[in-house]
Amino acid sequence: MSNKNFEESKYFKEISKLLLTGATMMAESCPDCNVPLFKKKDKIFCPKCKKQAIYASTENEAKEIEQKYSFSETQATLQDILTGKMNFLAQKIASSEDIPEIREILNLIKEIIEVLQNLRNLT
């Protein structure tokens, strides 16, 4: 079986499973992969991309939703970066014996923690 056939078979099994568990196939399709969207328990999603679909009734509402999700993704990325920096700084503390350097690193970690708390409070 070719890789393409395997992927299609896997996709059709997923659709069958969704239909058997009460999901509804919608008339609209995914804007990314053109596969029909499904609705289950008030969630609309693409079974292939695994992305949730969100409907907007006006252009302004669509822009607001887009900005919200864009900000949310940026926020998550920034949190990941800052957490990585804290790990890096913790390793620097472990390898340092210079007290002033350790104090400086601890102050940086404290600042990162404050930024992370502020980011979490924005949601």
Neighbours of 45 (CB within 10 A): 18
**For the chain, which residues score pLDDT lower than 50?**
1
DSSP 56: -
Domain segments of the chain as ranges: 3-53, 59-121
Q: How far is residue 108's CA from residue 86's CA, in Å, rounded to a whole number?
A: 8
State the pLDDT at residue 2.
56
State the pLDDT at residue 50.
79
